[in-house]
Amino acid sequence: MQKSSLSTFGFILFSLLVPVVAGSLAAFLAYLKDRKERKLSRKAVILVGMESAGITLGAVVVAVGIAYLGFFVPTVYGIHISQQQDISGLREESRRLSSDIQDRKLNIRVEEPAYEHMKVVYSMYARFRSTIGANRPCEIRITAPNDSGTSVPIIRQLGDPAGGAARCAAFGPMIMNMDPKEEELASGGMEPGMLIIHTRKDQVGSLALYDALASYLPVKRSFAMPKNSPKTLIWFQFGKDVRWLQ
């Protein structure tokens, strides 16, 4: 739109300048000719030239006005209609997206990966409980750096259902500033972008935990355990910026 306006302004300015320059040139040439013949005074020659330039300028103004009304106005109107249609389309898209966002707040999309992740985590915990027995005490511990980056939502997805689905005591991640030992535990051996699953070497069901998550998260196993840890402990050690693989 801006380029079109500038081009039109330049065309009008050029159209107005041409007759003025031409009239002035004609007056000057007439002055030189009549000065030789001495039939007209300098003032009369200039007036004749200005009169010719004025008539030409008036004709050009009329022609430019017709061209303006015939071409420029329809062009501007067409641009206006196009912009109104674009704005109307954007408003409709905004309403659609707002409705979609509101729906996502209230409903889980079963065709999307997040639903699959939720099923994997719940079934993993349920199988672990079935493997170790219904009445065996267990603990699930989660550690993560204070600045966990993209790990934060995954920490919640593994931590929140741990108590209900696995029926284990669930802890963490703790605030490191409150307990220096917690910081040492979380940072020792931690790998950015990696979830390390710590269990005892002979822990039944530990390999199944790894298998359940290996297709969805960057995971590795470790048999390094904290001192005085309970007999059945699953320790999820998050590094910073862990991401789902699919």
pLDDT value of residue 83: 86
Q: How far apart are CA 129 and CA 124, in angstroms?
A: 9
Neighbour count for residue 224 (Cβ, 10 Å):
11
**pLDDT tens track for 167-187:** 999 988 877 666 777 788 888
Q: Using an 8 Å Cβ cutoff, are 134 and 95 in contact?
A: no
Mean pLDDT to the nearest integer, 176-199: 86
Burial of 72 (0-12, 13-18, 19+ CB in 10 A): middle
Tell me, what amino acid is at 148?
A: S
Domains in the chain: boundaries: 2-106, 113-238
Tell me which range, 55-69, 105-119, 126-140, is most confidently predicted by mean pLDDT.
126-140
In the structure, how many helices (H) and strands (E) does the chain have?
Answer: 8, 5
Kindly state the tokens that stand for 48.
């004749």
Q: Using an 8 Å Cβ cutoff, are 31 and 46 in contact?
A: yes
Q: Is the pTM of this model over 0.85?
A: no
